[in-house]
Each structure stands twice: as C-alpha cells, then as structure tokens.
Amino acid sequence: MSYMGRYDIEKVKTFMQEQDPKIKEVKEFEVIGETNLPSGKSYYSCECPFCKSHIDIQKWSFSTTGKKCWRCGAVLRAALAVLK
C-alpha cells in the first residue's frame, strides 16, 4: 500500500524539520507483509527506505513508538521513516 497522494511528502518533511531541525530526511515506507506468532506477538514486515534493510515492527508499536532501523538508525513509524 502506498500513501503517496494522500499528502505531500515534501510538505510533511518541511513541517517535521521545523519541529526538529536535527531531522535530515523523511521518506515513506511500505508494509510488505505481516507475521502472527502463536505466542501472540505480531509483526509488520517493512523495508527501510534509506538502506533497504528488512525490519520487523511489532504491531502495537507501529503507530506509537515505531522502530529504529538496526543499520542506518532511521526511525520507522506509521508510514514515515525519519533519519536524523
């Protein structure tokens, strides 16, 4: 699923950089799959839009705390990845 068209990513980036000047880049990312373990844990499979690493984000944290990319340090949350 793509969020392009719902909002202008450049405007979102400008807005976020006004809030936090340390932000270098903002990109959209997509959920490419999901995993539901018998233990009850469930994950969204995502690809970091900056370094293309595969990242599993627990569903409960997808829209709240997000997840930091283990390779490049971008934070993936909801539909946006933010690199500082």
Q: Which helix (H) or strand (E) holds 34?
A: strand 31-36
Q: Is 29 in the site for Zn ion (CB under 5 A)?
A: no
With contacts defined by CB under 5 A, name the span among 10-18, 20-28, 33-41, 42-50 that binds Zn ion.
42-50
Q: Is 72 in the site for Zn ion (CB under 5 A)?
A: yes
- Residue 6: HSE in the Cβ half-sphere, 13 Å Cα cutoff: 7
If the CB atoms of residues 54 and 59 are measured against Zn ion, the closer one turns out to be 54
CA–CA distance, 43 with 62 (Å, rounded to integer): 9
CA–CA distance, 45 with 53 (Å, rounded to integer): 11
Among 26, 46, 48, 76, contact with Zn ion (rule: CB under 5 A): 48
Enter the DSSP assignment of 40.
S
Q: Is 62 in the site for Zn ion (CB under 5 A)?
A: no
Contact positions toward Zn ion, by CB under 5 A?
A: 48, 50-51, 53, 69, 71-72, 74
